[in-house]
Structure 1
C-alpha cells in the first residue's frame, strides 16, 4: 500500500467530563477500550467505547501525577497501572476484573487498589515505561537519574540499576518494542532510551555481567529533548523490514529520526543472525546511532509529544497548540500530511497518542488520535488518509 499523501483531521466529541485542570498525558490500554489520563494528584480512566469516565484513581500521591503506564500482563483479569508523581514516587494500582473482559467495562471507585509505592528518587518523577514483556519498569526524574526496576514476585519489585550519567533533569524514557520477523518469530532487545534537559538522548543496554550501561550519547539537539517514540511494527506482519528507529521531539521545534548504524534494513541480514546467542553477546558495548531524517519544521515553539502509528504516520504537538501529522515517502523523505491550529484553543497541548477506536460499535480496527492539554480537555481526533 502506498504511503498516504494527505490527512484530514476532524475533532470528535471531547471525553466527558472535562477535568477542569491541566492534564499531562493520556495512555491507552494495549488491548482494552480504556485510556488513563494523568492530572493533578489523580488519574481519570476513560472508556474508549463511550468517551466518558470509567473510574478514578485518587489518594495515592501527594503531588501531581505526570505519567502512567499499563503493565503488559499474562493475567488479563487483573489490570495494573503504574503512575509517576511529582512526589518522587511511583505507585502501582490494580483493578481485579474477576475474570471478565467486558468491552464496555465499568467500575466503582473503590475497585482500584493502590498496592505499592516505589521509592528512591530524590525529586519529581517525569516519566514511567514498561519493557515489552513487563519484566522491567523504567522511571526517570528531575534528580537526573533513570531507575530500572524488576518485578521478582507478585507485588515485589527490586531496583536493578540506577543510571546517573545525565547532567540535567531526565524528561522521558522509552523501551524498544518487540518486532516480528517475516518467519513469524518475535524478537527484540532490552534497549532503553532516555531524553533529558541536558540536550542529549542516551541509549542503554544490559551487558554480559548484568550491568546496565550507556552505549551511545546523541547530542545533535538545540535544547531539551522532551519525548522519544520508537517506530511501530508495520501492519501486515512486516516487522522484519522495520529499521529499528526512534524519533525525538525537542525544545527547538525539531523532530528527528534516529537509526542504529549497523542495523540491517531487511530480512537477509536478520536471517544470518545466530538467535541461540543472547542479544547482549552479539554486539560491542558501544553503538553508533545516526540521524537519518528530520521532519519539516512546522512548530513555532517546543514540541512536547510525538507518536508513531503502524501505518508509519507521525503526530506531534506542543507549546504552540498545533497538532501536526507527517508521512514518509518511499525515498525516506518526510512531508506534512495535515495540521490543526489551536487544537485546544489558546492552550498548550501536552501530549498526543494514537489509540484504537471502540466508539460507535467499532471493534478496535481503526485508529484515532487523543490529545491532552492545559485546558483539562481530553480530545479525540478522527483521521482519514488520502
Structure 2
C-alpha cells in the first residue's frame, strides 16, 4: 500500500501512526496538525494553533490526538470530530506523549523540563477532591459562582 501526502518541504515537524493503525497525524509549520486515514490517504481533520505545531501523539485508544505548539499550549483533540477537549498552557512546549494507560500527558520544554499532566476533567476533579478537606460553604459558593445553584463539589467529603 502506498499513498502520498503532500506537505511543503521543511514544514513537517512530526509524523506518527495511531496505535490502531487507522490514522497518521502530522505536525507542521503552517500552524496545523492534520489527521489522515491510513487506509486511503484522505485527510480526516485539520486542527489549528496560533503557532507552529511541533509534536503530535495519539492516545493509546486512538480516540484523541495531543499537539504541542509554539503558541505555548498542548491541546487534546477528539480524532473523529476535531473538537478540542483540553488545553494545557506552559512555556515553550515542544513535545507531547500519552502514558500507556492514557490517563496522563507528558510534555517537554526547551529548557529540558518534563511535566506530567492529568488532562481529563473527571481525573482532575477526583484529584482535587482527594486533596480537599471540605466543600465550599453556600456563602463561598455565592461569592465565586454567583448565578450557579449551590451543590457539593465533592461528594466524598462534608
What TM-score does the superposition give when structure 2 sets the normalisation length? 0.69
Change (3 A) 1:68 1:196: same
1:163 paired to 2:75 = no
Select the residue among 68, 75, 80 that pairs with 2:23. 80
1:175 paired to 2:104 = no
Select the residue among 126, 132, 135 that pairs with 2:60. 132
By relative contact order (CA 8 Å, sep 6+), the higher-ranking structure is: 1
- Which residue does 1:57 correspond to in 2? 5
| 1:247-290: CA deviation from partner (whole Å, max 9, x where unpaired) | xxxxxxxxxxxxxxxxxxxxxxxxxxxxxxxxx56x957xxxxx
- Answer whether contact 1:63 1:87 (CA < 8 A) is retained: no
- Which residue does 1:115 correspond to in 2? 44
| SS in structure 2 at match of 1:156 | coil
Q: Report the alpha carbon displacement of residue 89 of structure 1 after superposing the two structures with TM.
A: 0.3
Alignment RMSD: 2.9
Q: Report the alpha carbon displacement of residue 62 of structure 1 after superposing the two structures with TM.
A: 8.4
Q: Report the alpha carbon displacement of residue 58 of structure 1 after superposing the two structures with TM.
A: 0.8
- Which residue does 1:247 correspond to in 2? none
- Answer whether contact 1:72 1:133 (CA < 8 A) is retained: yes
| 1:167-190: CA deviation from partner (whole Å, max 9, x where unpaired) | 2x211111111xxxxxxxxxx351
| SS in structure 1 at match of 2:4 | strand
- Which residue does 1:66 correspond to in 2? 13
- Which residue does 1:291 correspond to in 2? none
Select the residue among 75, 91, 98 that pairs with 1:147. 75
- Structure 2 residue ranges without an equivalent (≥5): 132-158
Q: Tell me how far apart the structure 2 counterparts of residues 92 and 113 of structure 1 sit (CA, whole Å).
A: 9
- Which residue does 1:261 correspond to in 2? none
Change (3 A) 1:63 1:158: farther
- Counting only pairs closer than 5 Å after superposition, residues 295-310 of structure 1 correspond to structure 2 as none
What TM-score does the superposition give when structure 1 sets the normalisation length? 0.30
| SS in structure 2 at match of 1:157 | coil
- Which residue does 2:122 correspond to in 1? 210
Change (3 A) 1:212 1:55: farther
| 1:124-176: CA deviation from partner (whole Å, max 9, x where unpaired) | 1111001111122110011111011123xxx3121111111x22x21111111
